[in-house]
Amino acid sequence: MNKAAFAALVGRSPRQVSNWIAEGMPATGTGRKGAPLRIDPPAAIQWLLNRAEHKNAAPLSEERRRLVAAQAEKAEIETAQRKGELLELDDVEAMILEGAAVFAGQKRSMGSRLAGQLAGMTNPTAILKLLNSENDKILLELSKKLSALADRANS
C-alpha cells in the first residue's frame, strides 16, 4: 500500500506517515523512481500500537483500537483478494457441490459398469484389484474436476 492510501486508512496525513517512517515504521522502497514506497498495513499498524505503548503516549481508546484493528484486517483481506489468495464463499460452495455430484454419479454407476466383469469372478484378490482400480479412476476424475473448478474460480 502506498503512503497516501495508508494515511487515509489510519486517518492521518501523508506527512505524518513520512514522520513515522523516519521514526522506524516498517516500509520498503524509498518512494523515488524505480523504488516505490510500500507499506504493509498490518506490520505498520502493529508498529504504531507498539510505539504508542512504548512512548507512554495516551493509549488509544478501546473504540479506536478496535477501529484500527478492523482497518488492518480489512487491508489484509483486500491484499489477499488482489493477490488471488481468496475465493468467494459462493464459488467454494459451488465447487464442492459440483465435485460431490461428479463423485456421487461415478460411484452410483460403478455397479452397472463392473457388473458384467464381476459376475464371473471368484478370486477375491482379483475382485479387490478391479474395485480399487475403478475407485482410483473415480478419484482421479474428481481431482481433475475440482482442479478445473478452482482454476475457473481464480480467473
Task: Render pLDDT for 78-119 as a digit per residue (tens, 0 to 9).
Answer: 888 788 777 778 888 888 888 899 889 989 999 999 999 999
Residue 140, CA atoms < 13 Å, CB-side half-sphere = 6
Residues 44 and 77 occupy one common structural domain: yes
pLDDT in tens, 17-64: 999 999 899 999 877 877 888 999 888 988 888 887 776 555 567 788
- The position carrying cell 482421479 is 140
* Structural domain boundaries, residue 93: 89-154
- Examine the fold and report which residue of 55, 82, 109 is the final residue of a domain before the chain moves on: 82
Same domain, 107 and 68: no
Domain boundary (82, 98, 122) is at 82
Query: Are 62 and 111 in the same domain?
Result: no
61 and 93 together in one domain = no
Quote the number of domains for the chain.
2
